[in-house]
Structure 1
Amino acid sequence: MRGRRRALARAAAVLLVAAGAGLLGAGLVAVRVARDVVTPPRRRRYDVPIVAVDLEASTVRLGRTPDTEVAGRYSLWFDHDRGHARVAEVLEQDDRTVLRRLEGVQRGDLERASHGRWAGWWYLTPADLGLPFVEVGIATPVGVAPAWRIDAERPSDAWAIVVHGRGVTRSEGLRAVGVLRAAGFRCLLISYRNDGDAPPSHDGRYALGDEEWRDVEAAIAAARQQGARRIVLMGWSMGGATVLQCITRSPLAEHVDGVVLESPVVDWLSVLRFQADAARLPAAVRDAALAVLGSGVASQWVGLAEPIDFARLDVLARAATLRIPMLLLHSDHDGYVPIDGSAALAVARPDVVRLERFATARHTKLWNFDAERWERAMRVWLADQGLSGATAAATSARTARPRRPRAADAAPSG
C-alpha cells in the first residue's frame, strides 16, 4: 500500500515538473478533472433540448440523445431543477428528435423551457407512492442524517437500507420500495455525507465510498436498535461502491443478509479511466488526474483531507473475501459505469454473486427501461435467498438454516 502511495506521489511530482517545463495548461486541466470527481455538483448540465411541448396532446419533443431515445419512463428536470415532468414511451423519432408521451408536469412551466436534463427518478418523495412514511434521523459520524422510513405491509423485522448514488439524493431509491415492501421489508432510504441532505464531511468532498460507508454502518446500527433482524443493503452506482466498502470493512456486516446493487462501481480506477476516455481526455491528463486524487500531497489541491486509496476501493481484487449473497443489476449499454466490473465479480464468485444482465438500458435506469423484469429479478432473488416474507417467515428461515460465514469473518474492520 505504501509503495502504491509513493508511486502516486511520484506521478504527482512528475505533473509538477511537467508544468514547470511548459505544460502548465495540461496540469491545470488534470487538477480540474480530479476536482470534478470528488466535488459534489452545484450546477447541473441541461443538455437535452426541449424542442416542442403539446400539453393538450400530452407529448414533448426532445433532442435525440443516447438517453432520450431509449424506451421506458423517466424524469425531465428543467428551469434549474425548479421544474419537473414525467416522460413515458417513445411515439416517434427521427435523426435529430424524439417525440415522447408526457405523463404530467409536477411543477414548473415546461412550455417555456428550452433545455432539460434526463434522470432515472420517477417518484420525488414517498408521498408519490401513496404510502405512509416517517422522516427519521440517523446518527452518523458527521451528524444526524435524514432518512425516510417506509414500513412494510405487515409488521416485520426485515429491513432494506437503500443507498443512493453520486450527485443525487435518496429519492433515487424510491423505485425499489414497491418490490421490497411487497417482499416484507421495512425500507430505510438514507442520506449520507455531502449529498446535500446529510451534514457535510469536514472537507466537503466525496470519498467515493471510502468514508461514506460509515454512514451506511450507522444506518445498520439504527435499524438493529429498532428491531431489525434481517437486513438487505441496496446501493445505486456510487451507493453500490459504498455498500461494498461497508460489507467488507464494517464489523456490523455480520448482520447483513443480502446485497442488491444497481449499476454499481466495483473498481473506481477502471470506471474513471472509462469516463475519461469517453470525454476524450488525453491519457496523460487522465493519469495525472488519478495521480492527484491518490497523492497525499496533491490531493489537497482538490480539497481532499485524505487521498483516495484506489486499491482499497477495488472490491474485485478482494472478491475472495465476499460472503454475503449479492444480486447485481447492470446493463451492457450503461454508458457511464461499464458492466465489466460487475461481470468480472460474477465470474470470480458465482457462488455468492448473481448478475442480472440487461441490454439497452442506461446507467441506473434499468427499472425505467423494464420495471417488470427489474422487479422480477429482485423478487426471485430475495425468495431464493430466503429473504422474502414478514417476521414469522424470516424467523423460520433463520432458524432452519445454519449460519453462513459473513464478510466480517473474512475481512477486518477499518
Structure 2
Amino acid sequence: MKPFRRAAGTGAEPGLATGIRIALTVLSTALGVVLGALAILSLRVAREVVTPARRKADTRIVDLDIAAQTITLARTPDTELPGRYGLFTTGTESYVKLGSVLSQDATTVKRKLLTQVGAQSRLSPDAAFSGWYYDHPEQLHLPYTAELIGSSVGPCPAWLFPAGDGDTWVIQVHGRGTTRAECLRAIPVFHALGITSLVVSYRNDGEAPRSRTGTYGLGSTEWRDVDAAIGYARRHGARRVILMGWSMGGAISLQVALGSAHRDLISGIVLESPVVDWRIVLDYQASQMHIPGTVAGLAMGALQSPWATPLTRTGGAIPFDSLDVVARAAELRHPILILHSDDDGFVPSDASHRLAEARPDLVELDSFDVARHTKLWNYDQERWSAAITSWLRRHELAPQG
C-alpha cells in the first residue's frame, strides 16, 4: 500500500491561510482604530493649547465668616501660600482680595478677607485663586488714561500710567488666559522710579480684537501687537522702552526683542515666570495631566506642521524652533532680568536657568523657591520689588532724579 500523502494546497493549509488573513485583518482594523483614536486625541490636545483659555475653578470655598471677615478654602499648593492674593468668585461678589493665612489643617486654609463682604453676600463654592490682587487700575490710586493701540487686527485697549519726564516707558504684557489686569501689581514699582507704564492687550485675549482664527500663536503672532505698542510709545515721546512679560507674555516679549523694527528703542527686559521654550512647558503640562507622551508629541507635531493647520485651526504653523529662545540665545542683545520660582507648577523654570547659563553676560536670574506661577510679588513683595529696582538702577534704566 502506498503511504497517504496530503495534496498540495488542500486540507489544513487553506484553513491556516484563512486564519492568518482574518488575524491580519483584525489586527490592521484594530491598529487603524488605535491610530485614529490617537489622532483625534492629539488634535484635541493641540487645539486646547492654542484656544484662548477661560478661567477655571481651582479651589472651593468651604466657609465664609461674615462676622470675622475670614474665608476658608480647600487647601492647594496655591491657597496655602503666604502673602496677598485674589479670589474669583460667583454670586454677589465676582472678586475678593485675600490676606494672610490665619490657620490651616490637612484639607483647608483660613485666610483674612481684605475685601469687605456684607451680611447679605452669597458666594458659590467654586472659586479660582489668583495672583492678580488688583483687578482694576483705579485701585492703584495713580493717574492713568485709557488708550487704544492700533495694530494689524484693530485697536487694542491699553492703560497708560504717566510718570517722570516721559522718556522711559515700560510696556507690560500679560500671560495666557488672563488680561492686562494681571500686570497692575508692577505699576507702583516703576512709577516710583519715574518710569511711565503702558499696560497692553493683544489679539484674542478677550479685550483686544479677535484674529481671523481666534487662536493663540503662543507669541509668534501676538508680538506684533506689542511691537505696535512700542511704536505708540515712540510717537508719544519715549526714548527707551523696557519690556515686562508675564508667563506667555514673556514669550511674546522675547519675540518682540528678537524681531521688532524698534529694537533700537528697547533697553531691557523683565520676565516674570516666563515661557522661554514652549516644548518644555507643553511636555511638563502633558505629564501633569497624565497625557501619554505619544499623544503630546503628535499634538506638537500637528501644531508645527502647515498641513495640519486646517485641523488645528491655527491659521499657520506654530514655529516652535523660533520660539525656543535658549536655542536663539546668541541673538539676544538686551539685558534681561528673570524672576522665576522653581516650584512654579505651570511653567517649569528649567528654560529660565538654561537661558541664564547660555547668556550670563546679559541674563540675570533671581529664582524663588516657594512662590508658584506668577505669584512672586504676592509671596514676597519686598524682595520682588527690590530685585527689579536694583536691576534697573544697575543697568541705568531708572531715570536719575
Same fold? TM cut 0.5: yes
Which residue does the alignment assign to 1:406? none
Q: 4+ runs of 1 displaced by more than 3 Å?
A: 17-23, 105-112
Which residue does the alignment assign to 1:252? 262
Write the mapping of 1:179-258 to structure 2, written as runs, cut at 5 A.
179-258=189-268
2:165 aligned residue (155, 160, 177)? 155
1:119-144: CA deviation from partner (whole Å, max 9, x where unpaired): 11111121001111100010111111
Which residue does the alignment assign to 1:352? 362
Tell me, yes or no, if the aligned pair for 1:74 and 1:119 is still in contact at 8 Å.
Answer: yes
- SS of equivalent to 2:250: helix
Unaligned runs of 5+ in 1: 1-16, 394-414
Q: Which has the higher contact order (CA 8 A, sep 6+)?
A: 1
- SS of equivalent to 2:344: coil
CA shift in 2, pair 1:385/1:252, >3 Å:
same
1:333 aligned residue (337, 343, 346)? 343
Cα displacement (A) at 1:278: 0.9
Tell me, yes or no, if the aligned pair for 2:91 and 2:123 is still in contact at 8 Å.
Answer: no
Cα displacement (A) at 1:21: 4.0
Paired with 1:267 and 1:363, the residues of 2 have a C-alpha distance of 16
Write the mapping of 1:43-62 to structure 2, written as runs, cut at 5 A.
43-62=54-73
* Root mean square deviation of aligned Cα: 1.9
Which residue does the alignment assign to 2:283? 273
- 1:24 matched to 2:6? The reply is no
CA shift in 2, pair 1:232/1:24, >3 Å:
same
- SS of equivalent to 2:64: strand
Write the mapping of 1:395-414 to structure 2, written as runs, cut at 5 A.
none
CA shift in 2, pair 1:18/1:339, >3 Å:
farther
Which residue does the alignment assign to 2:74? 63
Cα displacement (A) at 1:263: 0.3
Which residue does the alignment assign to 1:33? 45
Cα displacement (A) at 1:106: 7.7
Give 1 or 2 for the bigger CA radius of gyration. 2
Paired with 1:227 and 1:107, the residues of 2 have a C-alpha distance of 46
Matched AA of 1:316:
V
Tell me, yes or no, if the aligned pair for 1:19 and 1:27 is still in contact at 8 Å.
Answer: no
Matched AA of 1:33:
V
Q: Percent identity?
A: 47
Paired with 1:111 and 1:361, the residues of 2 have a C-alpha distance of 30
Write the mapping of 1:64-213 to structure 2, written as runs, cut at 5 A.
64-79=75-90, 83-105=94-116, 111-152=122-163, 154-213=164-223
Matched AA of 1:277:
S
Cα displacement (A) at 1:229: 0.5
Paired with 1:100 and 1:177, the residues of 2 have a C-alpha distance of 26
Matched AA of 2:52:
P
Which residue does the alignment assign to 1:375? 385
Tell me, yes or no, if the aligned pair for 1:19 and 1:25 is still in contact at 8 Å.
Answer: no
Paired with 1:18 and 1:295, the residues of 2 have a C-alpha distance of 27
- SS of equivalent to 1:357: strand
1:293-333: CA deviation from partner (whole Å, max 9, x where unpaired): 11112232121100101001001001111110110000011
Paired with 1:167 and 1:19, the residues of 2 have a C-alpha distance of 37
Paired with 2:117 and 2:206, the residues of 1 have a C-alpha distance of 22
More helix by share: 1
Paired with 1:352 and 1:274, the residues of 2 have a C-alpha distance of 27
Aligned length: 373
Paired with 1:62 and 1:160, the residues of 2 have a C-alpha distance of 36
- SS of equivalent to 2:115: strand
Paired with 2:397 and 2:177, the residues of 1 have a C-alpha distance of 30
Unaligned runs of 5+ in 2: 1-28
Tell me, yes or no, if the aligned pair for 1:18 and 1:24 is still in contact at 8 Å.
Answer: no
- SS of equivalent to 1:316: coil
1:231-286: CA deviation from partner (whole Å, max 9, x where unpaired): 11100000000000010111211110010000000000111001101111111111
Paired with 1:110 and 1:354, the residues of 2 have a C-alpha distance of 46
